[in-house]
Every structure is written in C-alpha cells, then in structure tokens.
Amino acid sequence: MNRMPHVAVVGATGAVGVEMIKTLERRNFPVGKLTLLASARSVGKTLTFRGTSEPVTELTKESFAGIDLALFSAGGAISREFAPVAAQAGCVVVDNSSAFRMDDAVPLVVPEINAADIRGHRGIIANPNCTTAITLMALYPLHAAFGCRRIFASSYQAVSGTGAKAIAELERQVNQIVKGQPVTREVYPHPIAFNVLPHVDSFLPSGYTKEEMKMENEGRKIMHHPTFRASVTCVRVPVYRAHSVAVSAEFERPVTVEAAREVLAKAPGLDVVDNPSKCEYPLPLHQAEKDNCAVGRIRKDCALDNGLCFWVSGDQLLKGAALNAVQIAEELLKL
C-alpha cells in the first residue's frame, strides 16, 4: 500500500465515523489525502481534520477511484453494496459492520490477537463486534496461557453502540424524567434512561439475539479456536459510551488468580485495574475515550472447574470500532 495513502471514511458523519477521523489524526496515521463519504443528506457538512475543514461528499459507486484505503462504518447494507465495489477499484476496505465478518474469504481481526490474518486479505478486512473485541482483549491472553473451553457472560452495553441517535435519546429521556415530562422513544422499544434492556440486536429462533451469538461465532474465528463456546446475555444500559462485560471462563488447565494477573499485566492494549479493597475496578466512565481496555474483579470462579471470573470494560467507539479499524490500517502499512 501507498505509504501516504489516500484514505476514505464511509459513514463519516456517524458516531464511529467521527471517531475514526479523530483517531487517524491522534495516532498520526500518514494520510496523504482524506475523503469523507456519507449519504446524500450529509452532503454540505464539513468535519475538521488536522485543522482543516473537510467537506462531506455523497457515497456513490464511483467514489473509490484513486483511493487506497476505505474505513467503512455506515451499516451492513451499505457495506454489502459498496465494499466489493471499493475492493474492485483497488481499494482496501476495513469494514466495521457485520456484513463480512463470518465470510471465510475475509479476515476478522483484532490486531493484538491475530494481526497475521491480515496478510490473507482479498480487499476486505472485517472489524469485529464491539462487545466481542472488548471481551477478547482480556480473554485471549488467558486462553493462550490456559486454554479456554467456554465462557458465560453478561454485557453492559452503552447506547453509543446503537449510534448518535441513541446517545441523543438517553440524554433527552434523562431530561424528560427529571422535569416530570412524558418520556418519548424513537430508538429503543422501551425507555433506556434509568432502565436496562436485556435486548441488543434482533432475536433468533433459539431465544438468543444476534449480538449474543457474535461472541461465540466471532470469538472462534479471531482466536482460531473452533470449539470455543459462549453463552451470553447482552444488556443495554444507560451509559453514554464504553461497554463492560462480566465473564466467567472455564479453562483446560488449572489457573490461579496470581497467574492470571501476571498474564493480563503483559497483554497489549489492556490495563489491569484490580484493587477491590480500595474500590478500584474498571468503570465505563473512566474507560470512555481511552484506547486501552481495562480488566479487574479477577477471582476464582466458585461454580466452574478451572474457572476464573473477571470484569472488562472498554470504549465501544474506540477499541470496539474506530481504534481497531485504524490499528488494522496501521498493520496494512507494514505489509
């Protein structure tokens, strides 16, 4: 790839798109030229990159001529329609949607775990689900050391995972409740303010949601672990950004808290915040806008053989989306 690539951000005005632009700038990614693409209704808007106002242009099939790298975050339907077009035009696509994650021809990558898979790309590389990525930042180092058989997990997912409209909905509903006004809903089926919804993504015939099954399916692919099993309940909570996950993991080999902490302390992109006696443990409020995920509440699982419990928290818009995509782009430059 060009060492000063022409980069496009598709879905530039969305919550993740905006974060992608900020992350490219913050990490000094060597952008030769930046093109911002979005739907027709966003045309005319401008976004700032390196002190310059960059115009948003309409995404069309002709948008990718001369572009080296495209970071997509505009939803699965847009990715399915435009990512193959971009790849055919000679552009490498890093796609944040679920459209290509389980496609055998598309690498699904968390750079700290399986950066080498990028080498096999055919023009499209998939970014994992945000909750999966954040969980695996803590789970994979433990799996590499002790061999993870299965996990039971519950997620505590911020509204930013749904997008900018959901962030606005939580803010609006909090104000409505505080002022004693009727609560209005547009994004979620129930009020999210002062509430939790055990419902993320659509339900499958099994009773699990699509989001819940992503942990098992994507986890298997990213960790190269085809027998990995995950029983997950995904819950939307009234937090603006940063997801948290409570995990009970069962391992093939005996694991102690001390050995686990030693492994986690060496893991890239992960901070150990684990001093319960001083009320120190990962908090979404603290992880918001931080690149690293954090793990804590590390303890032996009293219901599983060779089991370990932990709590992991990370910024959904960063490691769960924009940061991971830019890290993939950084790995592409090394090829």
Is there a single domain that holds both residue 301 and residue 329? no
pLDDT value of residue 122 = 97
Is there a single domain that holds both residue 288 and residue 154? yes
Residues 196, 333: Cα–Cα separation, whole Å: 42
pLDDT for 264-285, tens place per residue?
A: 999 999 999 999 999 999 999 9
Token couple for 208: 């699990």
Residue 124 lies in a domain: yes
User: How many other C-beta atoms lie within 10 A of the C-beta of residue 60?
Assistant: 11
Single pTM value for the model: 0.96
User: Would you say residue 102 has pLDDT above 90?
Assistant: yes
Domains held by the chain: number? 2
pLDDT value of residue 188 = 98
Residue 299 lies in a domain: yes
Residues 154, 311: Cα–Cα separation, whole Å: 10
Token couple for 287: 């992880």
Which residues are CB-neighbours of 322 under 8 A, at least 6 positions away? 16, 19, 20, 22, 23, 71, 73, 96
Helix (H, G, I), strand (E, B) or coil at 307: strand
Token couple for 121: 């790309």
Is there a single domain that holds both residue 111 and residue 164? no
pLDDT for 142-201, tens place per residue?
A: 999 999 999 999 999 999 999 889 999 999 999 999 999 999 999 999 999 999 999 999
pLDDT value of residue 163 = 85
Is there a single domain that holds both residue 156 and residue 275? yes
Q: Which residues pair with 299 in a beta bridge?
A: 309
Residue 214 lies in a domain: yes
pLDDT value of residue 158 = 97
Residue 1 lies in a domain: no
pLDDT for 307-330, tens place per residue?
A: 999 999 999 999 999 999 999 999
CA 264 to each of CA 57, 140, 171, 280: distance values in angstroms, whole numbers, following the listed order: 43, 9, 35, 16
φ, ψ for residue 327, nearest 5 deg: -60, -40
Average pLDDT, the chain: 97
Where does the pLDDT of residue 236 fall: very low under 50, low under 70, confident under 90, or very high at 90 and above? very high
Residues serving a catalytic function are 130, 243
Q: Which residues pair with 245 in a beta bridge?
A: 155, 312
Torsion of CA 190, 193, 195, 196, to 10 degrees: 80
User: Would you say residue 238 has pLDDT above 90?
Assistant: yes
Is there a single domain that holds both residue 119 and residue 174? no
Is there a single domain that holds both residue 307 and residue 164? yes
Is there a single domain that holds both residue 116 and residue 147? no
pLDDT value of residue 1 = 85
pLDDT value of residue 11 = 97
The mean pLDDT value for 236-263 works out to 98
Provide the residue range defining the domain that includes 32: 6-129+321-334
Type of residue numbered 167? I
Supply the angle between the helices 323-334 and 15-26 in degrees, to the nearest 10.
50
Is there a single domain that holds both residue 240 and residue 165? yes
Is there a single domain that holds both residue 83 and residue 53? yes
CATH of residue 123: 3.40.50.720
Helix (H, G, I), strand (E, B) or coil at 227: coil
Is there a single domain that holds both residue 298 and residue 154? yes
Is there a single domain that holds both residue 151 and residue 193? yes
Q: Where are the beta strands (DSSP E) in the chain?
A: 6-10, 33-38, 46-49, 52-58, 69-72, 92-95, 124-126, 148-157, 229-236, 243-251, 270-272, 293-300, 307-314
Is there a single domain that holds both residue 157 and residue 279? yes
Residues 307, 248: Cα–Cα separation, whole Å: 7
Residue 65 lies in a domain: yes
pLDDT for 149-165, tens place per residue?
A: 999 999 999 999 998 89
Residue 303 lies in a domain: yes
Residue 144 lies in a domain: yes
DSSP-derived letter for residue 27 is: T
pLDDT value of residue 2 = 86
Q: Environment class of residue 260 by beta-carbon count within 10 Å: exposed (0-12), middle (13-18) or buried (19+)?
A: buried
CATH of residue 265: 3.30.360.10
